[in-house]
Structures are given as structure tokens and as C-alpha cells.
Chains A and B, each alone.
Chain A
Amino acid sequence: MSASPSALGDVTPQRMAFEQPLPLQSGAQLPPYELMFETYGTLNAERSNAVLVCHALNASHHAAGTHAGDPKSVGWWDNLIGPGKPLDTRRFFVLCVNNPGSCFGSTGPMSLDPATGQPWGSRFPVVTVEDWVDAQARLLDRLGIARLAAVIGGSLGGMQALSWTLRHPERVAHCAAIATAPSLSAQNIAFNEVARRAIITDPDFHGGDFYAHGVVPKQGLAVARMIGHITYLSDDAMGAKFGRALRNGVLGYGFGVDFEIESYLRYQGDKFSGYFDANAYLLITRALDYFDPARASGGDLAQGLAAARARFLLVSFTTDWRFSPQRSREIVQALVTNRRAVTYAEVDAPQGHDAFLMDHPHYHGVVRAWFDRIAQELEAQENAGPPQVFLPPSGGGLGEAQTWGQS
């Protein structure tokens, strides 16, 4: 028996290598690359029950379950994904892919550039939400999954989910975009820029090629994380948790840690800078900045979302000021204008942006009811006889799926 605190138990990450370069939005391409991913549940015979989970800025492919021998390694969305959970792995085959450019095993700036044999560092190409979606789509091709029952993501993951419905509308039946936005506001970009400047101006950054110097721009990365962390919490949540409480009960009359909130932020920053890659942080915040499906239509979001065919679930949280309910309502309005099916929940939760990672009865209740309905429809299709067959756009099939984990 596993001592895992997760209902899903231990899970094993997988690795898949891609020989074909990935064309990028920038015009550059990513040469042969690898992706890390995890799956939970079982793909049904019709291959119709797959749900893709898209991760946010600092998360990975490890969305649920634990890694063997480490009960603390619970996946970042374990409260949502698992047997009996709102996204029920007894009914759905759930998968989550670490995006290229990130730093959890998929090809990223820490990986070796095949052209030089050195870490990519500053030369790693700028990747976008659309590039990630294309990379995920190729992985699905290889697994023989032509069409997703659903795609779901929160925050930056929600942007990927939205992008899926635009780049591959025929491959997505349902889309759940949680605590997300159709694009970053100027204020959002401003926070990202401060974070990037903190990293880039760290003397240990070395223009992005710090690996060769045996150092890490820890200070800059920690400050970046501190800024980010502030924006993920609501004023009320921070006030309730820390207030003006003092670390040592007295004022220090200096610039050390006086307040509990300072201690907390420093701790979060230091912890983060110990495992996250500075170049990945730059790349991923840039992908956030660039995402804007209304850009090509001069800011007309309804036109920008016209290609979408999926049924949508949008969820926002009342105290989220990083991705406010107003931004979700913009998406809702655009979808309604396009006569798309959309359910929208505005959850009264106190935690701010981070609420999308919490277990809130109203939030999880809506997600559960929405996925239950999808599961019922899938079961009805199965009982109705041979399912409609969707062929993958290229290659794919079981044969190639056998090559998971090579390299």
C-alpha cells in the first residue's frame, strides 16, 4: 500500500521525444525536443474520454497524485483530479504536459542546444501560448487522441485552453477556462516586466548564460517571485493571514524582517529561486504578455474567438484582481455574441487569484456538474454504437505510442 496522501496514489512521469522541429509563432523553430507528461485514468476504447490539463506559470506536468517515496509531492491540482474528484479519473483519461521552455524536464533553456552542446540559456527561442498548444497537439497525435473530450486550465493554463479552441477547434469538444483573461492588462504586463528586470539585472544572470558560470540569479528570481506572489493573493487574504503581525514582537528600526508578511514573502522567494529556472521565468511571462486572440481583429474579441466550436465553462473569483471577473466576462460576452454555449460562474472566494487552486464548494461543484454532464454524454455515445471516428491530422496511432519514455 502506498502512503500517498493523494486519492490517485503514486504516478509516474513519462517522457516523449519529437524528432520533427516545432515551428514557432516567432518564425523560429524548436529543433528536436522532448516533453514530460503525466496521465491519470484510462483511455477508453473509442479514445474519446481524454481531458487535457494545461499548467500555469510555475507549475508542471505533475498535476495530480504523488511521486513514489515522496508523500509531499502532491500534484498542483490534486484536489480537482482523481477518482471521485470533480475531474473524475474513473471516467476520464486526464493528461498534463510540461510546456517547452519550462524547467521541469521538457526541453527548455536549461537543456542542451544540440547545435552547440551547451545549455540553451539566452538562445532558447521565445515560445507562445500557441506554440505550447501545438506542442501538446503533437503529443496527442502520438497517443492516438484525435479529439479531446475537454481541455481545462487555470490562469495561463486557461489561456492555453482557450487557444486550443481556436487553433484546433475540431479537436476540442469542451473547454474550461478558469481564473483567466483574454489577454493581459497593462498592469499585468507591468508586473511581469518588473519581475523580468529583477532577474535580468541580477549580476549572476550573465545575460541568460549563467549556467556556464556555475551560478544562478537567485536574488532576482526571488524578487520576481515575491512580486508575483503578492498579485496572486487578495488584500483581504493577506490581511487575514498576516495583518501587521511582527516577526519578533518588536520593531527592529532597520530593514531586516520586521513583519510576518516580509518573512513569508522572503521565504516564498527563496524557495522558488531554489527550483525554478530564471530563463524559464522570462520566457513564460513573455508568453503571458503576448497572448491576445483579439490582436489580429483589432481588439474585437468576438471576432478573435469566432473559430471556437467548443462548449465553454468560464470560472472567475470575486477577489482575483490579477485576472479579475471582468476579464472573464469579456470572454463570456464574446462567446455569447458568437452564439457559443457557455456556462459562467463567478465564485465568491476570498483568496484572490490563488482561489483557482483551492477546494471551494461552489467552484468545484460547478466543475463537477459540468464534467459529469460530459461523462454522461460520452456514455450515451458509447451505448449508441460505433463512435464517430476522427483521424489524427498526422501520423499517430498505437505504434508510436509504444515509444513513450524513449531517450
Chain B
Amino acid sequence: MTTPLSVIADLVPHGSRVLDLGCGDGRMLAHLRDTRGCTGLGVEIDPEKLIAAAGKGVDVLQYDLEQGLSMFGDRSFDVVLQIDSLPNIRHTENALRETARVGRLGILSFANFAHWSIRLQILTGRLPVTPELPYEWYNTPNLRVATYADFERLAAHCGLRVVDAFGVRNGRRISFAPGLLASEAVFCVQGV
């Protein structure tokens, strides 16, 4: 199970202007609009997903995130979301810095590669296949994987303040030993 919409949505203040990077079919933006009165914009490179988003009345720009976020002004969004999109981006560090520049708050989630089940699978000598990382090593779209602890270090390296961080297990927020027990990690960061 990947992180439910509501777990992320709960972190987004009502009425926020939201930029969703790698927004897919726009379901998160539609959810935020319908339940929290948010306005927003998605960025997505896949044309089929763009069409699906347009059908939901969600505005999406067809851009390659690798081109950066230079078209967006500093602090031009209340919240910038990167839900499972960070591992697909080549220039991770730059993407994270840009997220914190464009948004007053950045919310990122990704599969926690230090989850105990992954650790166990690696002990068998094979790379893991899990509900959050459902790919074989040879066909995954992810360029990289990260752990809860790794992200904490990267955020610090980028000079970002972590205002909230927790793990997700079985669709629920957990705070105890997230590095080991969480299948997904969620971080809320701010530029300093």
C-alpha cells in the first residue's frame, strides 16, 4: 500500500495554492480542491496522465521536471508536493532545493528502502520487490532509492529545515522507528 491521499492532504493547509510535481492523473490536486478548497497546478510529462487530469478539471503543465522549476517564482506556491517523484529525478539535490525555493512548504514522500521487509529481501541476495517498489531491478523507473535516514541527511545537506517527518505503514502515520518500520517516508521541509 502506498501512502493514502488523506495522509498527505492532512498536511496541506486549507485554501493553499499547491504545485504538485509529477502529479500523475491529478487525483491529489482534485482531492485537495474538493476537500480542502485548494487551488493548484500539476506538472506531469506523461500525455495520457495529462488527459486524465484535464478530465478532472485539474490544471497540469506538460513539462519535464529535469528542466527544473525556473519558470516558477520564489515562494510562488504555498505548498509544493513531490509524491513518489523524487526517486525518478536525475538531479535530486537540485530538485529538492528548487522545491524549497518555489514553495513555502515542501512535502515529499518516497518508499523507504530501509523498511525491514526490504532488508530481509536483500539478505536473500535479491533486490526487493514490494508494494511501494513493485518493479524488478531491470525495469524500475526509479533512478535511485533512498531511506528515511538518507533523506534526513540530504535535507540537512541542502540547508533545509525539516518541520515534520514521519513514516507510513499500512496507510497510517507512524512515528516509532520509522526507519525500520515505515514502508513510506514523508517529509515536510522549508527553505531557511
Interface centre among B17, B41, B59 (most CB of A within 10 A): B59
B30-89, CB < 8 A from A: 39, 41, 47-48, 50-57, 59-63, 71-73, 76
Q: Which residue of B lies closest to A365 (CB)?
A: B51
Whether A341 and B59, one on each chain, are in contact in the complex, defined by CB atoms closer than 8 angstroms, is yes
Pair A342/B61 contact, Cβ less than 8 Å: yes
A362 with B54: CB separation less than 8 A = no
Q: Do A332 and B71 touch across chains, with their CB atoms under 8 A apart?
A: yes
Whole-angstrom distance between the alpha carbons of A366 and B41 in the complex? 16
Please list 22 pairs of residues, one from A and one from B, whose beta carbons are closer than 8 Å in the complex, sorted by A's number. Answer: A329-B71, A332-B71, A336-B72, A339-B17, A342-B59, A343-B50, A343-B53, A343-B54, A343-B60, A344-B60, A344-B61, A344-B62, A344-B63, A346-B63, A348-B47, A366-B47, A366-B50, A366-B54, A368-B51, A369-B54, A370-B54, A372-B55
Please report the C-alpha to C-alpha distance between residue A200 and residue B56 in the assembled complex, in whole angstroms. Answer: 51
Chain B residues near A344 (CB, 8 Å)? 60-63
The DSSP consensus for interface residues of chain B is: mixed
Complex Cα–Cα for A213 and B72 (A):
58
Which residue of the partner chain B has the closest CB to A343?
Answer: B59
B38, chain A: closest CB distance, angstroms: 13
Contact among A343, A347, A362, A368 for B61, CB-based, below 8 A = A343
With an 8 Å Cβ cutoff, the count of chain A residues facing the other chain is 26
Contact yes or no, A337 B73, CB < 8 A: yes
CB of A37, distance to nearest CB on chain B (Å):
29
- Determine the chain B residues whose CB is within 8 A of the CB of A377 once the complex forms: 57
- A244 CB within 8 Å of chain B: no
Total of A-B residue pairs, C-beta within 8 Å = 60
- For chain A, residues 330 to 369, give those with C-beta under 8 angstroms from any C-beta of chain B: 332-333, 336-337, 339, 341-348, 362, 365-366, 368-369
Known contacts A366-B54, A369-B54, A373-B55; is-contact A332 B61 (Cβ 8 Å): yes
Question: Please, which residue of chain A has its CB at the minimum distance from the CB of B43?
Answer: A344
A362–B71 CB distance below 8 A: no
Residue in B closest to A370 when the chains form the complex, CB atoms? B54
Residue from B47, B55, B76 within 8 A of A362 (CB atoms): B47
* Cβ–Cβ contact A347 & B17, under 8 A: no
Given contacts A369-B54, A372-B55, A373-B57, contact A345 B71 (CB under 8 A): no
CB-based contact A366/B71 at 8 Å: no
The minimal Cβ–Cβ distance linking B73 to chain A, given in whole angstroms, is 6
CB within 8 Å of B: which A365-388 residues: 365-366, 368-370, 372-373, 376-377
